[in-house]
Structure 1
Amino acid sequence: MSFDHNPGTAVPEKSDRVVGEPEVMQSAAGYYVGCYVTEDGFASPHSRFSDYFPKEQQAQAWLDAARRTNSL
């Protein structure tokens, strides 16, 4: 999988939107690797890169492996 993602850069259509770095996140469905977007001082989920995992450690292992192989 590959993703067009440039963390820390402004999203072109709105200069006040900033996409964060990939990180382990949590929802009602479980843990996953994704990123937030900050707009007008509020952060909200922006992208999900992985499947859902039942344990935080599994999502962290996925993120670590993706970083080692430059998959994000």
Structure 2
Amino acid sequence: MLDLRGLWCPQPVLRAKTALRGLPVGGALVLECTDPLTEIDVPHFARQTGHRLAAQERREGGLFVFRIVKAA
């Protein structure tokens, strides 16, 4: 899990990219973000890199939570 609260574009995606490198194929990474642009950036990142966006949720207080599953 990555706590990316308070970080702004492009930091959340760059940190997710780095974290995914250390995961095995099929491993999941959960991101907690406060930057509203992550609603666009994270799904786009997952599509472009071939990873699967397994969940996307907007919670109270402006928290955005994403679950990315690493592809081969």
Q: Same fold (TM over 0.5)?
A: no
> Which structure has the highest helix share of the two?
2
With a CA cutoff of 8 Å and minimum separation of 6, indicate the structure with the bigger relative contact order: 2
Bigger Rg over Cα: 1
> Which structure has the highest strand share of the two?
1
Give TM-score, length-normalised by structure 1: 0.29
